Amino acid sequence: MLFGSVLCAAIATGQGIHCGLSGYKPMDGLKAQMHGGVLEVIWLGERKETLRATFNVVGGKPMVEELSAKKAGGKWTVLGQKLSPEFEITSGVRRLSEQQMAPMRELGIKITPEVIEKEKWNAFWDAPLMVPGRNGTNLDLPRKPEEIRKSWAEYKVSACEVKTDGARLEVSFPGLNVGVFSGGLQYTVYRGTNLLRQEIIAKTTEPSVAYKYVGGLKGFSTGDNTRVVWRDSSRGWQQYEFGGPVNQQPVGLVARNRLGILEINGGSLAFMPPSHKFFWSREIETNLGYVYYRKDEGEHFSIGVRQPDKEIGAKPWGISDEVWTRRVGEARGHLNNFALYNAPPGTMQRMPVYFYLSPTDSRTTQQQVMAFTHDDVYKPIPGFKVMVSHFHFHFNEQITDAKNIDAQPSWLPVFRDLGINIAILADFHGDSHPSDTGKVRLDEQKVYFDGCQRYSDKDFLLIPGEEPDANFGGHYLFMFPKPLFFTHLKRPELTPAAQQFTESLAPYGKVYHTSTAKQELDLLNMEKGLVWQTHPRTKGSTGYPDATRNRDFFQSDRFLGGSFQSLPVDLSQKRICEERCLGLLDDMNNWAGPKYLLAEGDTYMKYPDDETYPLLDVNYVKMDKVPKFDSGWTPVVEALRAGDYFVTTGEVTFRNWAIEGSGAKSVYAAEAEWTFPPEFAELVWSDGNKVDRQLISLTDKGPFLSHKFRIPFDVKGKKWVRFAVWDSAGNGAFTQPVHLK
């Protein structure tokens, strides 16, 4: 009856839309049909629930006539009517950072327009919306106010296209313009889940565009049974019932898990961004409020997702004035790092917001939505331990400043809450005295080691790593299988001529002193340590490891490879860090023997109220148990060196992977599991020169499934092979390359 009234209204007002159905294939649980100029989409969700969305065009603008849901055998619950999609894009100018130019100058690379055009898309230290910007951070400052453009989407739509893609259905509306972008609007539903994806798919022809977006639905009606609920950063439930005045701007909710829920008519409509790909790399994980509501005129309101205009600095800490003052400066410095998304000319950028339709209450819906990220926990998998790396917590200074080694740091419960088992820290990076060669540094190392030992546990290990950035070029991280005292200098000419490579010093024991690349490699070989290039091809490692790929230390099996981090973010790419990271992984394995990518955070202080999960990728290392600190962590080093781990955002995981058989009859076997509807799997290999890949579409498979892949693969003439699975929200997991004999 309700749908009939919508149809009558559409006909009576002379509105309606013609939708092309040539790409549509009817199937059970996923149907689309036209009724009097209105498109109706019905799909089967989770727990045998049925969802419905109806679409129209009014005055050239797409309209969601109705969203509704019902339980099996139940009645329809209306979650919204007469809703308009809303998108706002804010764009600025992408600039190359001074941090990138410094290593290029050291390498003798001339900063030409061609180099700038290539490298600016890997900028980390850039904040295009900060006017005028801080001197010394970027090329061609100051920024100008007229560079920043804010625009709401405008539509000139006359038709739509309906397409079936496996177990999903896409409804596309061409005719969108928003600021410097033009393209269309698309809705996607997935059989087997209650998700509805609304997104802009658009491109720009302008150069150097960096941008962010706001996306949602407007036109919801306020009422006695309508309210927005969310959990705050301390997990307390909050609500707003639209009893206040009209809002001038979207109200950013500092919501736990990036999730807001609309309660209406006994049902609920959750709204949230993609769990990882929505977020660009930062140095802190302060919750900036990624979902919003806005009370509009006429007793209506809007909901959706957003990125704010600027960073909020870290919370300064410290007891001594010296440390406190330095932390305040560091917190202010974070404001100059808010890079936004890349939009190279001609690339089709996808800007989504997810809605989750449910006929149940908000608490039940919250639990159902959180299943997509395992409640923001890295799910335990038998035979694996979750490892993270590269955190500048300045742990040594925290302990020293507090004068209490038992003062629990704020970042420790963050790791535990995420389900992390092993964490590699990176003190002596902007803290303490990294270049000291005597007692000052050695005493600080002793505090560092003692602190890591104090907070390691039966299933939790803190490894005291360091990012020395001394003699190998660019930035890199050292990890040894036990606490190890060593010093280093960046400038060999400052090394005392009488300095010994090793000496025995009480109370530290054996101490190493390095001042050259040869000595650093000798140290790694003698102590069976590992080193890898941190943030390769960007930041302070711009130009690396490319510049040193023929050096003995890179070719050594002590050089693990490089780090993986969501930097930069280009929403036209299907994979996270598609070109810089995964492209480097393939290049390194063509240059040398086995080289791997290690997921890293490269962030600073953390607090339990931060939103850490979406800004972190992790490593699942093949291990049955976590080593005890006192026994050393040789098993961790050996597993990494063997490539016995996979990298993941958390939503896609592997149980196993291997090459079975031999020669032309070989098979690549892997068992994968996912939560969001999957997108594709890929087998990637190379003969040592050319990289090839086989893509396997997974759009016919539903959410919350596992699958055993068996892919025929002729190993003859191949140097190495790796495997990956990526889902429809941009999350994924990949194995390390296996070199073939």
pLDDT along the chain (741 residues), means of 10: 38 64 94 91 97 96 97 96 98 97 96 97 97 95 97 95 97 97 98 98 98 98 92 96 95 98 97 98 96 95 97 84 84 88 98 98 98 98 98 93 91 97 95 91 96 97 96 97 91 59 94 94 98 98 98 98 97 97 98 98 95 98 97 98 98 97 94 98 97 98 98 96 98 98 76
Residue 108 burial class via C-beta count within 10 angstroms: exposed 0-12, middle 13-18, buried 19 and up:
exposed
Backbone φ, ψ for residue 440 (5° rounding): -60, -55
Q: How far is CA 696 from the centre of its chain?
A: 23
Complete DSSP assignment for 414-433: HHHHHT--EEEEEESSSSS-
Could you tell me the CA-to-CA distances from 46 to 257, 648, 724 in Å, in that order?
21, 25, 26
Whole-number Å distance between alpha carbons of 644 and 622: 6
Q: Is 288 helix (H, G, I), strand (E, B) or coil?
A: coil
Whole-number Å distance between alpha carbons of 559 and 554: 5
Whole-number Å distance between alpha carbons of 194 and 704: 12
299 within 8 A of 393, measured Cβ to Cβ: no
545 prior amide bond cis, ω within 30: yes
> Facing residues of 596 across strands?
561
> Facing residues of 330 across strands?
none
- State the residue for tokens 């033009």: 182
Q: At what angle do helices 439-455 and 395-402 cross, to 10 degrees?
A: 90
What sign does the CA torsion over 650, 656, 662, 668 have? negative
Alpha-helix runs per DSSP H in 552-698:
552-555, 580-591, 634-641
The predicted pLDDT at position 321 comes to 84
Query: What is the DSSP-derived secondary structure letter of residue 517?
Result: H
The predicted pLDDT at position 590 comes to 98
504's tokens: 């025995």
The predicted pLDDT at position 740 comes to 95
Residue 153 burial class via C-beta count within 10 angstroms: exposed 0-12, middle 13-18, buried 19 and up:
buried
The predicted pLDDT at position 4 comes to 39
**Gyration radius of the chain over CA positions:** 27
Query: How crowded is residue 92: how many other Cβ atoms within 10 Å of its Cβ?
Result: 23
Whole-number Å distance between alpha carbons of 727 and 704: 11
550 within 8 A of 473, measured Cβ to Cβ: no
First to last CA, the chain: 68
Q: How far is CA 553 from the centre of its chain?
A: 30
246's tokens: 């009209």
The predicted pLDDT at position 335 comes to 85
* pTM for the model: 0.95
Whole-number Å distance between alpha carbons of 383 and 393: 29
- State the residue for tokens 């070719």: 555
Q: Which domains are present in the chain?
A: 151-372 (2.70.98), 384-647 (3.20.20.140), 651-741 (2.60.40.10)
